[in-house]
Structure 1
């Protein structure tokens, strides 16, 4: 014999009930069935609301009654093809009688403006009574051998209305006697409801239909208890918050209890107890996908080689209360008085932790009980509080508990370390920790706003195939930004397959509009989507990133905007990594540069800016490795402007300086305002950054700059005016070229750092120098160090262009993802 329970969603409509009937038709071919049914989805809440309104003297209670009535009448018409059929007429009559009784009860509550727990139980019984009448008769109308039995005639309880305690001896005897004489193929029972020894209607608490099914299964020594619901089993975590969550194939009874206690609503925790002793398997199945494997709950699975963590669960709406004071240390009895007080107030404790110094006791309870608990505890310890031996109870609200669950965690080292390391990396602050001696459950109290991020991060760590999701927020989607998006789209499958990194662009912004999509921006149409986005705002973009609170988030700045560069601290403080193509932050005031470095370390948020120098060349990365390994930088010589190198490699007596600069601008080698490149300020910033990364404290004003532009070019009011000066002053630039040619040299704009001093300027480079044959837009950097005193460490390659710069940004993303 099998016992099957169908929840409110499974019986929530005629269509769904027909699915239930199909399942029972299949199952009844192999075994006798006991079918426990819940009230139709939402009916219990409607009954409670009708009762509340009636109790308050609000005549609109009748509207809720009418809604309940209409739902059940609609079910009958939807289930019975021929409403003139005898079974259909009988069903309609029985339901009408029950509805009339319900109406009378609500009228009585309305007249006396009062509802006792006893009356409440009588009221709530109607939901299951009505659904069981309809479903049992629908089965009969399909020709199935089915019969309805009122659970109130089998399950006997005490008089603890609303949450009655079962008399198992009487209940088991009643159940066994009934089914011994009854040979019906399918017996339908209403769940949740029972009767006291004094024949008064009682209920088994919310979720009691599961409990009813477990009691019957235990009484009959059933071969299996099946819980049919709207999901395919118990999941590794909440699938509404974590898309990658998957059903758990097998769980032990203890693991199932832990998961259901900590928020997995699929199973009512007391359900396990009646079947545990008899080791009756519980199978959780999906009414809407009967072929799905589901979850089997049975005795502990002794197989090896599997992950010790079975699931991650959470409870929301938690308040953390702390009793603390020096007067508690070494004094026995504080815990006893505290917990007695809570027990007297019927307040359930969800989590407890106590410091080894005995200075404080911290416990988690439901948020709704917090004020009541504080009032009662402060009253209990009034004397000690008055003497300042202890402090009044302190309440922290808006919290949640997350729990890592698994039977075998105790035999695996490092589980808690991985858990807390994962949370720490994602800026999830832990307020309290509890772990039982069984090590089956490791619980942490966190801010409720961090729950989604915490669950996703932990699920990624413990359940996913080592695939790390990286969430990207990109500001500045011009030339370089567009190329970066193209590279992400082109390489995302390769990166996922080979590096186990899943790249997802969540936010985009330019100077006009911004786009945020929690599910990830579709990269094939990002331009169209962005054009229809909301008005761009630096603060708005930051707030959107913060409110999403996604794990492994990276903010990427591909602008030359000062305001953007000064928002980096706001991101780093949220443990959001920053990748800067923008050179302003690292070349601004030394204190600000150091602050960014300190914030990066403090909040475990990487701050990378490889493309600040050499675009896609690994200049800063190589320098960092030298310094980290203990080498000391003595001198740096470099050509750091691909733009200027392109200009002077192509400028000669057969063209004009204006033409070459225009060409460089058009091909994307210079900034939109070429003065930034030609003035040397860009190169000065780059050598400044290299000096700082070498360990030297230096400001931008300390970098000596020998400018080759004419005064009129430097003083031009606009880019248009600047280009006009290039034409006017062509003779000046030709003179520079002729001097180098006469000396058999090449013009290169060189950056130098030596003896703690930096300078930049245009130089004539002789033929035997490494810079002489530097072509096109190439950069070159030579590091003279303690380990490379005579023959420098040289890095050379393309140092400008949208593609190579984008590839440098891409490399920084991968560096962070691999961190």
Structure 2
């Protein structure tokens, strides 16, 4: 014999009930079918009762809607000539319900006893309706009221089963019945006084387990709307996987900590009898689902699943009066037990100075009052502080039978959460080492579950969530590179990248599932108006793991937002030099925030675009080397300009070409004035350990004063033609000396300068072609022959690739 339980979604409507019948028909008889109320009925019955108790007359309307739901289901399931008796029975039951609700309305209150009586109608109606439908379809089925089988005490709302009497009742009934299919209502039972009781929300699972144990069933099948138990809540973790096989103990831990496909008490009745439980999907019956049985230590992974409970409150009592005083814990838990308040987590300091416990949030205020009253004397004497209550918390738990044989799991768990700014408020681990529980803020639940699932279940694939500011030349090329390389990154580097947001100067668009990079421009056009504050708040609200803010702009306003992101443990990757070249205090503060909040702050493209200049410098400093001198051509745009400027091409023409081809900033004055090079050498000096300011750098500009003071880019370009003679003289002077013009940045022992220089043939800078950059590092280890880095240092493509490289670095940081 098998026992099959079908939940509310499985019997929510006529179509689903037909699916249930098909599953039952495919199951060898005899079979017991335990059913919940039709979907949503229990909640609405409770709502109607509460409305009646508070004299809201619309409870009758709600009752009428529930009756209509049941009658409509009958009309869709039964042939017309077989409807009348079923409809008559249902109407009779709703008349009884109306009488009960009228009584509650007159009294103006609802007791647990009357509540149990009212909600029982959901299962009673469902089981009756389904049994009559099965019979009308020619199945050998019968209905049995579980109140006649399951006997309990009079603890209404969550009655305690008397298994001795209950098992005898069930055994004798099924021994005598001849029907192939027995349909029974779940959730409900009766006391020895004959009052209707219930087994707790989710109690239909428990009903099925009680019957399975009593009849020594071959298996217990829990039919629901998912493919089994998952490694995490699939609504919050899209990568969650079905657990094929799990032990009773693991399933009990997971269900206790919020795995809603199984009511926690369900396991106990079948555990000792070693009856396997199968969690299966009514809407995908061919799926194998999950099997819950004896311990399966052959599994590779020590972690079976991650579960959570939201809306938890922490209650803490502490004080010197607790140290060495016996009976404090007894008094604490005894008083909570007397008021039927369940404790879901306990942790105590080894000094006995404090006890921290978790309770359901809706019970927290009462629990605090009870505790303060129980320890009123100690509190008045200052030996114990008043109970401290913290709300809006959640418990996240790692569960697995093999956790105790694996070292470092706690470290991996806490490290993964810490890197994503998930603050842990309390920790608890059972002596069985089958569970590690942490208390975190409710708002961090989704992030925490995804972080832990990624760490323990996803084959070390790390997901990065990008928020991209700037969709111009560099930004668009970066997005194209990302779209092209996504598969390679996932398959080869185990990195999965999603672009959650893209913003231009005018529009911004968000999608938590990831923006389709094949048509991101269309998505952006449909977005909302760009606001830096709104963009940040959106990033913060989504609270996704491994989040990275990518700045592809040259905006000072955007650079001023970096601290916002770093303080929220969101990495910052930028090609924008303004932040790192701003006041040293701001630069140092951003570096400090990066360390404090474990959020990478990477800006390799600030110097040399895609060249590994800053990374190389960091490695030199980290290994104990010391920089004495830096010589560099750091402007690919200026190098391009002076390599192409000659007798046949005017200075204006070459600068215009460089601007059009993307070698300069949108405003070429930033490049030609030398300020861009000054910022770059400043950044290198700071990364070398020198706290200098931009004002400390000598800038020997080659531009005429009139050109520097032009009010717009257009007028600046025109001024280059006006002063053509000046630029020609610079060129000819270098040519006569058989030298080439290069804009050189120099740093030596704390002092820096930038300016146009005539470079002789024997110098490494002389043959620097195109838009290339070159850097010479003279250090303690490279005193005479410098460490040289050379390559393309300008252009949207190489800048985009440098940003890409920094993003990859965040995945390994």
TM bin (shorter chain): over 0.9
Judge which range, 411-420 or 321-330, deviates more. 321-330
Q: Distance in 1 between matches of 2:325 and 2:147?
A: 51
2:44 is the counterpart of 1:46: yes
2:524 is the counterpart of 1:527: no
Q: Distance in 1 between matches of 2:111 and 2:715?
A: 87
Determine which of 286, 295, 312 is the counterpart of 2:281.
Answer: 286
Match of 2:81 in 1: 84
Question: Following TM superposition, by how much is the alpha carbon of 1:120 offset from its aligned partner in structure 2, in angstroms?
Answer: 2.2
Question: Following TM superposition, by how much is the alpha carbon of 1:523 offset from its aligned partner in structure 2, in angstroms?
Answer: 0.9
Q: Confirm or deny: 8 A CA contact 1:275 1:281 kept in the other structure.
A: yes
Per-residue displacement from partner, 1:638-664 (whole Å, max 9, x unpaired)? 110000000000001112111111111
Match of 2:237 in 1: 242
RMSD over equivalenced CA pairs, Å: 1.1
Match of 1:679 in 2: 673
Determine which of 682, 695, 699 is the counterpart of 1:701.
Answer: 695
Q: Distance in 2 between matches of 1:818 and 1:139?
A: 59
Q: Distance in 2 between matches of 1:114 and 1:679?
A: 81
2:252 is the counterpart of 1:254: no
Q: Where does structure 2 lack aligned partners over 5 or more consecutive residues?
A: none
Per-residue displacement from partner, 1:188-243 (whole Å, max 9, x unpaired)? 11111112212222221211111111111000000100011111111111111110
Match of 1:550 in 2: 544
Determine which of 214, 222, 232 is the counterpart of 1:219.
Answer: 214
2:73 is the counterpart of 1:75: yes
Match of 1:2 in 2: 2
2:271 is the counterpart of 1:276: yes
C-alpha spacing 1:658/1:122, structure 2 compared with 1 (3 Å): same
Q: Distance in 2 between matches of 1:714 and 1:321?
A: 66
Match of 1:419 in 2: 413
Match of 1:299 in 2: 294
Match of 1:332 in 2: 326
Q: Distance in 2 between matches of 1:313 and 1:145?
A: 41
Question: Following TM superposition, by how much is the alpha carbon of 1:766 offset from its aligned partner in structure 2, in angstroms?
Answer: 0.7
Match of 1:441 in 2: 435
Q: Distance in 2 between matches of 1:679 and 1:333?
A: 78
Per-residue displacement from partner, 1:346-404 (whole Å, max 9, x unpaired)? 11111111111111111111111111111111111111111111111111111111000
Question: Following TM superposition, by how much is the alpha carbon of 1:104 offset from its aligned partner in structure 2, in angstroms?
Answer: 2.3
Q: Distance in 1 between matches of 2:733 and 2:173?
A: 113
Judge which range, 40-49 or 442-451, deviates more. 40-49
**What's the TM-score, normalizing by structure 1?**
0.98
Q: Confirm or deny: 8 A CA contact 1:94 1:133 kept in the other structure.
A: no
Q: Distance in 1 between matches of 2:321 and 2:199?
A: 43
Match of 2:137 in 1: 142
Determine which of 587, 600, 603 is the counterpart of 1:606.
Answer: 600
Match of 2:175 in 1: 180
Determine which of 302, 312, 317 is the counterpart of 1:308.
Answer: 302
Match of 2:649 in 1: 655
Map residues 95-494 of structure 1 onto 2, 5 A cutoff.
Answer: 95-304=90-299, 306-494=300-488
Match of 2:615 in 1: 621
**What's the TM-score, normalizing by structure 2?**
0.99
Question: Following TM superposition, by how much is the alpha carbon of 1:724 offset from its aligned partner in structure 2, in angstroms?
Answer: 2.1
Question: What SS does structure 1 have at the residue aligned with 2:628?
Answer: strand
Q: Confirm or deny: 8 A CA contact 1:553 1:577 kept in the other structure.
A: yes
Q: Distance in 1 between matches of 2:57 and 2:691?
A: 78
Match of 2:631 in 1: 637
2:53 is the counterpart of 1:59: no
Question: What SS does structure 1 have at the residue aligned with 2:317?
Answer: strand
2:750 is the counterpart of 1:756: yes
Question: Following TM superposition, by how much is the alpha carbon of 1:56 offset from its aligned partner in structure 2, in angstroms?
Answer: 2.4
Q: Distance in 1 between matches of 2:40 and 2:498?
A: 38
C-alpha spacing 1:475/1:162, structure 2 compared with 1 (3 Å): same
C-alpha spacing 1:110/1:715, structure 2 compared with 1 (3 Å): closer
Question: Following TM superposition, by how much is the alpha carbon of 1:504 offset from its aligned partner in structure 2, in angstroms?
Answer: 0.8
Judge which range, 801-810 or 702-711, deviates more. 702-711
Q: Distance in 1 between matches of 2:123 and 2:666?
A: 73
